[in-house]
Structure 1
Amino acid sequence: MNGSTQASNSNQVSYSSEANCKKKYNMLTKFPIPKDPIRYPFNNDPAIGYRSNFNDLLLANMSALVPNIDIGYHTNTHTPEALEKWIQTTNDYMYLLTRNIRKKCDAQLKKLTNIENQKRKSRELDIKKVQELPDDIIRHIHGFLLPETRIELYVAKYPSFAEAIERMTSKNLKKYVIHIYKTYYETVFNYNGQIPERRSCLQRHPKYLISYSNKRQAVDQITLLFDLMREAIPRTPIYHQYFQTHALKLIQSMIYVGVYKGPQLKRNRKPANELLHV
Structure 2
Amino acid sequence: MKPDNANEDGQVTVERHGRVTVVTLDRPAKHNAYTPEMFHQLMAAFDEFARDDDLDVAILTGAGEKSFCTGADLGKTITKLTAGAPRHFADITKRFFSDIYKPIIGAVNGLCVAGGLEILQGTDLRIAVPHAKFGLGEVRWGITPGGGSHVRLPRQIPWAVAMEILLMGRPISAQRAYEVGLVNEIVEPDRLLDRAMEIATTLSSNAPLAVRAAKEIAVRGMQLEMPFELEYYISGAVLRTEDAKEGPRAFTEKRPPVYKGR
Q: TM-score, with normalisation over the residues of structure 2?
A: 0.24
Whose strand proportion is higher, 1 or 2? 2
Q: Which has the larger radius of gyration?
A: 1
Q: TM-score, with normalisation over the residues of structure 1?
A: 0.23
Whose helix proportion is higher, 1 or 2? 1
